Structure 1
Amino acid sequence: MTGADLHWFAWSVALDLPGVAQSRPFGPDYEVFKVGGKVFVMTTVVRGTPIVTLKCEPEHAVALRQQFGTITAGYHMNKRHWTSVAAGAGVSRGLVEELVRNAYLLVVDRLPRAKRPDLPSARNLHESSPTSS
């Protein structure tokens, strides 16, 4: 997977989730994806390398950084709760999809009920995977 593929795939997974809005609040170099007004994924290019930065459970983020050389603490974000992914060995479509969906659910679970999107099968987001064929 190239850096451009990484960005495109993360965008397509994020935009396929219920209630997601895409914007550029930090300028033209950042694509930001929100649910309920809260950021869960963003993409940019850092020193020529496309990255995807995602909300992540702290323990999972540490494990990912130990396993993948191109996964680091969140670029310009809280290093405990965010992780950044660049294309590289082992970074597959399946991994990116899992990370985007997990980031989404982390944010949705913390939203007030009134701001949560209608998720008749939110827990099935991990199992249903229309983009991972």
Structure 2
Amino acid sequence: MEKENLQAFCHSLKGVTHDYQPEWQADRYHIGGKMFAMMGGDANRKPVITLKCDPQRAEELREMHEGIIPGYYMNKTHWNSIYLDADIPSSFVEELIEHSYQLVFRKLTKKSQQDILQQDK
């Protein structure tokens, strides 16, 4: 998985904003001011992407893929971290990014959702 490709995919989603958290050395991606993805590293600086996930699905994914672990520095129930060097197809990681985006989007107010949907991007 190429970090740059995943970053480009995150940016391609409607209404996404990005910032960099220097203390964590992590790129964060938001929708409606709420984070849905973070790219950084674990304690050994091994690159990971951390994504929100439905709790039941999060457990299933961890059991199916050794490269998916409970969210690094996040709520372990609702977030998974995926090692970028894991043997997981980029297309599947993009599906998980989209899932994370949708989970966060659905929690936004109806007004925020409408504002995002009306953007040109």
Give yes or no for TM over 0.5: yes
Q: Note the C-alpha offset of 1:9.
A: 2.4
Structure 1 partner of 2:54: 57
Q: Return 5+ residue gaps in structure 1 as ranges.
A: 121-133
Q: What percentage of aligned pairs have identical amino acids?
A: 30
Structure 2 partner of 1:115: 112
Structure 2 partner of 1:129: none
Listed one character per residue, the Cα deviations across residues 82-127 of structure 1 (whole Å, up to 9, x for unaligned) are 00000212x111111101000000000010012121079xxxxxxx
Are 1:18 and 1:119, in contact at CA under 8 Å, matched by a contact in 2? no
Please list every run of at least 4 consecutive aligned residues from structure 1 whose deviation after the TM superposition is greater than 2 angstroms: 25-28
Q: Note the C-alpha offset of 1:26.
A: 5.1
Structure 1 partner of 2:98: 101
Matched, 1:39 2:38: no
Across the two proteins, how many residue pairs are aligned to each other? 115
Are 2:24 and 2:40, in contact at CA under 8 Å, matched by a contact in 1? no
- Match runs of 1:1-133 below 5 Å: 1=1, 5=2, 7-25=3-21, 27=23, 29-46=25-42, 47-86=44-83, 87-89=85-87, 91-116=88-113, 117-118=116-117
3-state SS of paired residue (2:60): helix
3-state SS of paired residue (1:24): strand
TM-score normalised by L of structure 2: 0.88
Alpha-carbon distance change, 36 to 26 in structure 1, aligned in 2, over 3 angstroms? farther
TM-score normalised by L of structure 1: 0.81
Q: Return 5+ residue gaps in structure 2 as ranges.
A: none
3-state SS of paired residue (1:100): helix
